[in-house]
Amino acid sequence: MSMASRLPQIRVGWPHSYKQVQHYLIALRQRKFNHMYVGVTQEFLPYGGRVVEDWLRHKGYEGFRVKTRRVLLGKGPEIYATAKKNMVNWSWNEKVRWSQFLEGEHGINVVSRIRAYGLFWTMNPLRKVLCHEKAWGKQGGAVAAVAVSTLQGHLLEGEERFCVCWEGGKQGDVWFDMLSFSKGGFPLGKLLMPLIRPLQDRFFADLGNAMQSAVREAVALREKEAEEAKLARKWRK
C-alpha cells in the first residue's frame, strides 16, 4: 500500500459523494489500525473516563486525551430498545449532518464524513471493534455498546465507544454514554489538534441531543399510534 493511499482524505467546499465514500470503504479492507490499543474501551464500564486515562498513563503511553459525556434518555425497557436501535443504525446521521458515520456493505469498516468549520470536509477511516449487548447492574438492566477504532489514514489515533445503558425495571433510567480517547495522527493531525478538540466536544454535545430527540420522536409516534388505535376501536363498537 502506497503512502499516498494512507493520507487523510480532505477536500474544500463540498462533501465526498456517496459513490466516493463507498469506493473508499472498499479500499479499507486491507487497512491496518494506526495505534496499539484497539478494543481497549470494552474493558471499561460506562462513565469510565478517568479510569481509561489512568490506564493509558499506567501503560506509559502518553499523549492520548480522554473525553466522556452522558445524557439521560428516559426510563424503562421501551426507551432502551428504541435508543439501542438508533445507536446501532447510526440514526443520528439524520440530525448531526456535519459529522456522519457511513458503513460498508458488511458493517465492519466505517467512514466518518466530517465538515470542519463550514469549509473543509474529511473522510476518516474506522473499523468496528465492539458491538455487543449484555446484562448490566443489579436490577435486571442491560447495556448495548458499539466502538470504532481508527485506521491508517485517519487524522487521529484512538477509539470511540457509544453505550446505551438501562438500569433495569419499568422505571429504570436509560442513559446514553459516550467515551473517546485520541491524539493527533500524522504530522497534520498533530498540527490540527487545537482545531479538532472543539469539534470533538461539539460532536458529543450534538450526538447527545440527537439521541434525546430521536427517543422523544419515537415515544410521540407510539403515543399517536396508540391513540389512533383506541379511536378506531371506539368507532367499531
**Given this model, what pLDDT does residue 47 score?**
59
- Alpha-carbon span 180 to 160, nearest angstrom: 4
**Are 179 and 158 contacting, i.e. CB atoms less than 8 angstroms apart?**
no
- What is the longest distance spanned by two Cα atoms in the chain? 73
pLDDT reported for residue 4: 47
C-alpha–C-alpha distance, residues 76 and 173, integer Å: 7
- Angstrom CA distances, 69 to 49, 79, 133, 180, stand at 9, 19, 20, 9
83, 68, 103: which is closest to 200 by C-alpha? 68
Whole-angstrom distance, CA of residue 159 vs CA of residue 99: 16
Reference 180, options 198, 158, 196, 160; nearest CA is 160
46 phi and psi angles, rounded to 5 deg: -55, 155
Q: In this structure, what are the phi and psi dihedrals at residue 198, rounded to the nearest 5 degrees?
A: -60, -30
What pLDDT score was predicted for residue 223?
Answer: 79
Run means of pLDDT, 10 residues per run, the chain, 237 residues: 61 87 89 90 67 67 82 95 94 92 88 90 93 87 94 93 92 93 87 91 96 92 77 72
pLDDT tens per residue, range 143-200? 999 999 999 999 999 999 999 999 998 899 999 999 888 999 888 888 889 999 999 9
Nearest to 24 by CA among 117, 120, 121: 121
Give the E-state strand segments of 76-140 in sequence order: 99-103, 109-116, 120-136
The answer to whether the beta carbons of residues 150 and 64 sit under 8 Å apart is no
What number of other Cβ atoms are within 10 A of residue 176's Cβ?
25
205-233 burial, b if ≥16 CB within 10 A, otherwise e?
A: ebbbebbbebbeebeeeeeeeeeeeeeee
**Rounded CA gap, 154 and 12, in Å?**
17
